[in-house]
Amino acid sequence: MNLIQKANQTYLKHFNKETYFERALFFSWYCGLGDCTFCYMSINQTKQDPKKAKRTFSSILAETLISKELNWKIEFISGGYQSYTKKELLFLIKAIHSITKEKQWLNIGTLNKKELTMFKPFTKGYAGTIETVNWELRKKVCPSKTLQPILKTFQHCDELKLKKAITIILGLGETIKDFQNLKQFIKQHKISKVTFYTLNPHPGTPFKNPPTKKYASKWIAKTRIEFPKLHIIAGAWIDKTDYYSALLKAGANNITKMPSIRKFNSKELKNIESEVKKAGRIFKSKLTKLPDINWDKKILSLNPKIFPNELKKEITIKLNKYLKQMKKHN
């Protein structure tokens, strides 16, 4: 039995065949660091104003509603949190919780104990953007995003009994030998969820070649075999939809990363559905067919204590814009 077969068998021993698309819900595109060498932020040097580089509540909540109705899980809430006041953030997290009926993962920079305590009623855990476990390489590719504040946030999570997740980007210059570091890190910090992204090289950055699906699958398979019950998410950009059957066979639970609203029902997303099938999984999320939903009724039924009428009206406008976009590939 080869590595992938062993990983697939391990997966099937612990999980059913259902697979979901998980969408990262972006709050803002502000970043206070801006110098990770693989990130498009590192080439866009214009100083952002955190208060302006953010989405409206209605846009975020319309997207949440679509995600809920199309069976997309929220991978995490993401973005630089300096864009919102703590009160605004708390409101957003509470509103998302009210729509999804699920506690959320936060990927909004490092957080102190007071902040985590405030968000805790609506929060499952915190995701640390580790990016690479080759620690020497990490100093070069994430010069300002140091490890210590992330580890400190993990410590607060332990004290507050919140879960911990990490994100890893494959293709930054690490090799499979670095897997030992990942294994140790997951064990030491009791990580319960890992997202593996395959690098999407941005023009203008020093990166040219994305990792192969074979290489990415090897990381996932080794992780699955070592940690049979870990929640693993795999993400490859829209030009690599052919990676997904391999990543799922290697033991990923769910998939992420696609621009599912902009590309809804496109040939790429249709291909994702066949890839999931090819991996022997049952795809529970909708990426190609809009269900027949009375959206006005859905919005009207939102809790009035959280969603005042004015906000409901704004959500309706945004939602209709998104739905129009989603019908573009019909």
Give contact residues for ligand SF4 (rule: CB under 6 A). 31, 33-36, 39, 41-42, 145
Based on CB atoms, which residue is closest to ligand SF4, 172 or 232? 172
Cβ atoms within 10 Å, residue 16: 8
Q: How far is the CB of 29 from ligand SF4 (least distance, A)?
A: 8
Q: How far is the CB of 110 from ligand SF4 (least distance, A)?
A: 11
Based on CB atoms, which residue is closest to ligand SF4, 20 or 154? 154
- Three-state secondary structure readout of 70-104: CCCEEEEEECCHHHCCHHHHHHHHHHHHHHHCCCE
Q: How far is the CB of 43 from ligand SF4 (least distance, A)?
A: 10
Based on CB atoms, which residue is closest to ligand SF4, 197 or 227? 197
Based on CB atoms, which residue is closest to ligand SF4, 95 or 142? 142
Q: How far is the CB of 105 from ligand SF4 (least distance, A)?
A: 16
Burial degree of 66 (CB within 10 A; 0-12, 13-18, 19+): buried
Q: How far is the CB of 199 from ligand SF4 (least distance, A)?
A: 12
The Cα-based distances of 85 to 5, 32, 328 in angstroms read 48, 15, 36
Helix axes 179-189, 213-226, angle to 10 degrees: 40
Based on CB atoms, which residue is closest to ligand SF4, 153 or 241? 153
Q: How far is the CB of 61 from ligand SF4 (least distance, A)?
A: 23
Q: For residues 83 and 179, what is the distance between their CA atoms, to the nearest angstrom? A: 35
Q: Angle CA(259)–CA(264)–CA(268) in degrees, nearest 5?
A: 75
Based on CB atoms, which residue is closest to ligand SF4, 41 or 225? 41
* DSSP per-residue letters across 293-311: --HHHHHHTS-TTTS-HHH
Contact 174, 215 (CB under 8 A): no
